[in-house]
Structure 1
Amino acid sequence: MPTSTGHGSSQPRWLFPFVLIVLFCLSVLPLGRLAATGILSLLRGGGDGLISDPALWKATWNTLASSFLGMLVSVLLGGLIGLLLTLFDIRGRTLLGFLFMLPMMIPPQVTALSWLGLTGPSSTLLKAIGMAPPLGSPQPLYSLSGLALLLGVQSAPLVYLALRAGLLALPRDGIEAARLSGASPFQVLRDIILPLALPGFAAGAAMAFVSNVGNFGIAAILGIPAGIYTLPTLIYAKFASFGTNTFADISTLSGVIALLSLAGLLVEERVLKGRDYRIIGLSGLSQVFQLNGYRLVAELLLWLLMIIILILPFSALVASSLAPAYGVPLTLKTATLHAYEEVVLRQTAIRSAFRNSLFLSLSTALGLLLVTVLMGYVVARSNRRVAAVIGTLADVPYALPGIVLAVACILLFAAPLPMIGVSIYGTIWILLFAYLSSFLAVSLRPIASAFRQLDPSLEEAARLAGAGFGRRMRDILVPLVAPAAGASVVLVFLIACNELTVSALLWSAGTQTLGVAIYNLDDSGSFNLASALSVLVVVLVLAMMGLLELLSGRLPKGVVPWRS
């Protein structure tokens, strides 16, 4: 095996081309196919009918309004909790951070179902405690404001993460100097911390907006029954009523979603343009302020928020799963495990969904592990420009809304593969390809971070001793990055197992996943079965997050989101 690419590099000659081929296949090829189809469609006038369709503009307005309002909710929630848990002496901060991250880890369709079970006249939980609205009362969540509220709850952890990362990077000595000069805690917060934390707020708001634009699960479960279509659900409806112009229409709609997402990121850049946020001094700002007598009030506020956005909806989900039918009051006499027996033992489609999700999640996690260990090594050993290009190409499929990636895969694989004449469209393999593309960045980040923390002299000493690339990877590098690699496997498995947005367009008979199964059960009116399956998914999420918590002590910073 050749072990040098020249100029003293220890990388084998095949490694960098391998990374480029992977990035081309998983990122450039599908998104390039989507862009080409959209451009050709517009040049041929194929989008004229769609552009003049009032449904497009109504869906665009609904998408913008719900995403913007949801962003405001997420900034309010994520900003408040980020400030309190980072800057103030709150007890139980790790547990509170762990709980606050759950809405982001739980599938959006499960979030929507749990809140539907909590509100409205048919709420099993409200009926059990005698607080249900009168029959015939409207379901408040079947509205644009209800859609925005749940989008905000789902994306609030993104704001929390971005703000917390920015706050932890602020200089301690600057804050201490202000305090020693007589500034009150409020003045320090207003005049120093909040202005310097603006990049974190802006980044979190932009990520929340982009996440809301592409959210399919909440928009489908709350919006479609109310006749409120967003761009992702309009694509789903167009695809369900397949016609001669379907591919042209959905590629154009996907382009609109991508442009809206890009606009959100450009607004963030515009907000920060012309501002200099360079800081000097020791970072690691944490627990700056003592709340003293107000600490109990702040802790009660935080726990009240956790009860409202997490514990009550999950309790409603459990209550709905134990009721014999949706809307039946839950009592000791009516409580039953029938729904769990049905989804675990009797429903063959759900058992198939379990198998498919397990296969796809494990295959994606392990397949990406093999690729990203090599890719992470290249990122860590390359100059900044090359590393930035690799990171960007890996990030793009994950950053774009999942519905856009799904459309790209449909366009790429609608025809049989060239030369071999085999089509993977309508099979589980197109789902696997989409998962590999979508979650490449999730697997790469912790592994690349771990490689960057390794001292290059370890590998250099082994190379000078005659160890080849394979020997160095096997005996030195892989064991050292193993904890981060294990975390990447858990993270990818966790996210892929509950995925819906990509799968909604790509699944077919025999290939439905857990996310699709939950949506289909609710869509068919089996709310108690959908609730039972959702409870099992939440338990799985908690188990995976608990495993990450156990590994957290051996992982690089930033791999476990709820830890500093």
Structure 2
Amino acid sequence: MKIDGRGEAITLAALCVVAVVLFGLPLGLLVNVGVGNGPNLLVEALRDGSVQRAAWNSLESASLSALAATLAGTCLALTIGLTDVRGKGVVVFLLLLPMMIPPQVTAIAWVQALGPSSAVLKTLGVAPPPGSPHPLYTPFGVMLLLTVQHTPLVCLVVLAALRTLPREMMEAARLSGAGVFRVLRRVILPLISGSLVAGFMLAFVSAMGNFGILAILGIPARYTTLPVLIWRRLSSFGPSVLTDVAVISIILGVVALVAITLQRWLQRRMRAAVVGPPQLPLRIALGPMRPLAEGLLALYIAATLFLPLAALVATALVTTYGLPLNAQTFTLSNFAEVLFRQASTVRAFVNSTLTAGVAALFLAALSIAIAYFMSRRDGTHRRIGESLSALADVSYAIPGLVISIAFILAFIRPLPVLNISLYNTLWIILLAYVTAYMSIALKPVAAAYGQLDPALDDAARVSGAGFGLRMRRVFTPLMAPAAASGAILVFLTAYNEVTVSALLWSTGNETIGTSIFNFEDGGYTTLAAAMSCVTVVATVVIMAALDRIGRRLPPGVVPWRI
């Protein structure tokens, strides 16, 4: 079926222009700076000992932490999704909180929870002796926190996969006499194997590009990874700094691209077609084992969420880092400093809310348009839509620091004709968010389009509805829940991030993530803890409000509601 009028053609052309400006131009310039004069610079970088060590450390930490996160996240998802444990909504909400908390906050909280200067351990009288090496300033500590950060991501992916399984397949296996573990091994795990691969690769790519944890723990541990090496090289202000950084960024980007390509290949090989509509999965009665399962879930939540947060609060409430929390050391001055005396922190909350909110709304609208062309039966326009989707996947796979370097190269000069510079403004951070997180917004909308009957579009065309009317009256209302789900994830991800904005922020354009990192990097640990506490409270309030609103919305709008 051909395009009916100029509406579709103009929309498709506009989407292509957006893709060129936000994806093709920045990444193309990055590649040109790195290898535009030949592959010699890339070869030299690969021979550089510091680059080799950083590359190995990145691969090691990302691979092992992603494997551990996949195992832990799958176990959590199977327990929550297939058994009769109680309070599932609250459990899922608490399990996903570490993913929504900025990684640099996670790192600071754990450092303050387990070190010799821990206010909680000192208050309990079990702190290690002063001068003892911190247990997290090791490669193991880096991988442990990467695992904690990305386990909820894998859990969310596997839970979504469990919701798509026809219940009849599991019931048939049980009626045939198969035990729980046999059903799990022979039916459930094979059917969700593609989602397990997706979860592993998402955790791997996220760990490769993680900056907050790798900087706060890796630098003291002398465990330098590629993102930290990029940040250090850029901070050196040498004559060839952009070229060096571009070359290292290309190496990091190639690793991410290989990972996403391998993921797609494995998913095609493991794909298993199922027959029947998605239903609620089995609820396996645990019987006398239910209290044990619920106790283990509570213990995991306490260890990964409440212990570090308690240390964070205790550090924020003492006058000097390293003191135990008691009546003599208690103070609220750190909160007063970050909330009322430091103008930059207030600006950071406003800037993060504004940029994350606008990016989420823009991506929700953009994803509805792109996914429409992805669902078209017309070969040319479907291929263009799928190419835009692949470009979004590539941008998500590329670490945020690489995206920020590309945007510096693309927008450091004033825009042609307009003579306006986006560098050192919030606009460049906003556009970088759109580029980095488009895939998050697009996935649920594309899946929702895939469930629509193509005859719906044909019926609207036969009735004389043009492209604009069809989008306004038919597809946008139908896609709104899925678009809202993607927008929520984009907002929560961008609201607390530090990786993308670490190199793009400037005075007056601070974000929450960069403010916390700058406090910690400057030695103001108690202020960093106070700022982190406020950020956690803000994140919990936003998620709780969305959860409450989600009770009145269609299923799937709020991603963590089950």
What TM-score comes out, normalization by structure 2 length?
0.91
In the other structure, the counterpart of 2:71 is 76
Q: Are 1:332 and 2:330 counterparts?
A: no
Deviation of 1:541 (Å): 1.3
- State the distance in 2 between where 1:49 and 1:468 align: 56
DSSP 3-state at the match of 1:212: helix
Q: Tell whether the 8 Å contact from 1:446 to 1:559 is kept in structure 2 after alignment.
A: no
DSSP 3-state at the match of 2:41: coil
More off after superposition, 331-340 vs 216-225: 331-340
Q: Tell whether the 8 Å contact from 1:174 to 1:281 is kept in structure 2 after alignment.
A: no
In the other structure, the counterpart of 1:183 is 178
- State the distance in 2 between where 1:365 and 1:340 align: 29
Q: Are 1:545 and 2:540 counterparts?
A: no
1:18 is aligned, of 8, 14, 22, to 14
- State the distance in 2 between where 1:421 and 1:214 align: 33
In the other structure, the counterpart of 1:416 is 414
Q: Map 1:17-36 to 2 at 5 A.
A: 17-36=13-32
In the other structure, the counterpart of 1:53 is 48
In the other structure, the counterpart of 1:434 is 432
Deviation of 1:92 (Å): 1.3
DSSP 3-state at the match of 1:13: helix
More off after superposition, 187-196 vs 206-215: 187-196
Q: Tell whether the 8 Å contact from 1:447 to 1:484 is kept in structure 2 after alignment.
A: yes
- State the distance in 1 between where 2:231 and 2:352 align: 21
- State the distance in 2 between where 1:113 and 1:412 align: 33
Q: Tell whether the 8 Å contact from 2:365 to 2:483 is kept in structure 1 after alignment.
A: no
Q: Are 1:351 and 2:346 counterparts?
A: yes
More off after superposition, 503-512 vs 105-114: 503-512
Q: Tell whether the 8 Å contact from 2:119 to 2:315 is kept in structure 1 after alignment.
A: yes
In the other structure, the counterpart of 2:522 is 524
- State the distance in 2 between where 1:180 and 1:456 align: 37
Q: Are 1:362 and 2:362 counterparts?
A: no
Amino acid at match of 1:501: T
In structure 2, do the counterparts of structure 1 residues 492 and 71 end up closer, same or farther at CA, with 3 Å as the change threshold? closer
Q: Tell whether the 8 Å contact from 1:443 to 1:488 is kept in structure 2 after alignment.
A: yes
In structure 2, do the counterparts of structure 1 residues 188 and 329 end up closer, same or farther at CA, with 3 Å as the change threshold? same
- State the distance in 2 between where 1:556 and 1:340 align: 39
1:196 is aligned, of 191, 216, 228, to 191
In the other structure, the counterpart of 1:304 is 299
More off after superposition, 410-419 vs 261-270: 261-270
In structure 2, do the counterparts of structure 1 residues 10 and 97 end up closer, same or farther at CA, with 3 Å as the change threshold? farther
More off after superposition, 268-277 vs 85-94: 268-277
Q: Tell whether the 8 Å contact from 1:41 to 1:47 is kept in structure 2 after alignment.
A: no
Q: Are 1:264 and 2:259 counterparts?
A: yes
Q: Tell whether the 8 Å contact from 1:73 to 1:153 is kept in structure 2 after alignment.
A: no
- State the distance in 2 between where 1:329 and 1:237 align: 34
Amino acid at match of 1:533: M
Amino acid at match of 2:189: L
- State the distance in 2 between where 1:325 and 1:468 align: 66
Q: Tell whether the 8 Å contact from 2:78 to 2:159 is kept in structure 1 after alignment.
A: yes
More off after superposition, 64-73 vs 408-417: 408-417
Structure 2 unaligned blocks of 5 or more: none
In the other structure, the counterpart of 1:509 is 507
Q: Tell whether the 8 Å contact from 1:164 to 1:200 is kept in structure 2 after alignment.
A: no
In the other structure, the counterpart of 1:236 is 231
In the other structure, the counterpart of 1:142 is 137
Q: Percent identity of the aligned residues?
A: 43
Deviation of 1:175 (Å): 2.4
More off after superposition, 449-458 vs 78-87: 449-458
- State the distance in 2 between where 1:483 and 1:110 align: 31
- State the distance in 2 between where 1:11 and 1:420 align: 27
Q: Cα deviation per residue 1:173-226 (whole Å; 9 max; x = unaligned)? A: 332232222222222223332333332222211111111111001001111123
DSSP 3-state at the match of 1:225: coil
Amino acid at match of 1:439: Y
Amino acid at match of 2:29: R
DSSP 3-state at the match of 2:228: helix
Structure 1 unaligned blocks of 5 or more: none
Q: Cα deviation per residue 1:484-519 (whole Å; 9 max; x = unaligned)? A: 554444433322221210111112233221100000
In the other structure, the counterpart of 2:220 is 225
- State the distance in 1 between where 2:517 and 2:95 align: 24
More off after superposition, 102-111 vs 453-462: 453-462
DSSP 3-state at the match of 1:507: coil
- State the distance in 2 between where 1:474 and 1:265 align: 34
Q: Cα deviation per residue 1:85-131 (whole Å; 9 max; x = unaligned)? A: 11211111222112111111111111111111111110011111212
In the other structure, the counterpart of 1:499 is 497
DSSP 3-state at the match of 1:90: coil
Deviation of 1:251 (Å): 1.3
DSSP 3-state at the match of 1:237: helix
Q: Tell whether the 8 Å contact from 2:370 to 2:385 is kept in structure 1 after alignment.
A: no
In structure 2, do the counterparts of structure 1 residues 476 and 155 end up closer, same or farther at CA, with 3 Å as the change threshold? same
In structure 2, do the counterparts of structure 1 residues 174 and 459 end up closer, same or farther at CA, with 3 Å as the change threshold? closer
1:130 is aligned, of 117, 125, 128, to 125
What TM-score comes out, normalization by structure 1 length?
0.91
In the other structure, the counterpart of 2:532 is 534
Q: Cα deviation per residue 1:210-265 (whole Å; 9 max; x = unaligned)? A: 11111001001111123221100000000000212212211111111122223333
In structure 2, do the counterparts of structure 1 residues 465 and 49 end up closer, same or farther at CA, with 3 Å as the change threshold? closer
Q: What is the aligned-residue RMSD (CA, Å)?
A: 2.8
More off after superposition, 464-473 vs 326-335: 464-473
- State the distance in 2 between where 1:482 and 1:169 align: 20
In structure 2, do the counterparts of structure 1 residues 49 and 467 end up closer, same or farther at CA, with 3 Å as the change threshold? closer
